[in-house]
Structure 1
Amino acid sequence: MFSYLARDVEPGLTVFDTCLGLTVLDVVGPQHSRARRLVEDLFRRTMESLDGYAAREVLLHLLFAARKARTSPNKLTSIAKAILSLETHH
């Protein structure tokens, strides 16, 4: 996980980098001591990139996780709005 957090996103690889980060999160699990930092970093990278495809990957991953954990999708509303607002910036 430390390697992922330390790496810079290379131009043209935003979606790949996002998927890699989501995979790392899946592998380490939400109980890992650095999972919160990883999630925050993924959100930061996604918001900074303004890449709609990367945002979609994050949103779909969160919706899947919410259903799997039986979490109310309403808790994801602010995240979804932030991600969907990225589309208006393109």
Structure 2
Amino acid sequence: MANTASARKRIRQTAIRNERNRARRSRVGTFLTKVEKAIASGDQAAAKAAFQDAQPEMQRAATKGVLHLNTVSRKLSRLSARIKALGAAAQG
């Protein structure tokens, strides 16, 4: 149990930050799920639109320190490649 005022304040701050970060991580997951569903459906236009919505949310999570920047970059790169492959599969 925290004995000092600063320790009690730190506990309050940590709880608030934890809740905020959990919400942000959950939000990113929701956007990723939408992109995955669009890719699975095979609709490149829908996948691109979902990707455009997910991208700033993921970058924001990286900026806030919820996710590592390299993790976000890797995920975006792989999603982008999969969406691009949808177009190539449709043409060829």
Could you state the TM-score of these two structures normalised by the residue count of structure 2?
Answer: 0.44
Structure with max Cα Rg: 2
Higher helix share: 2
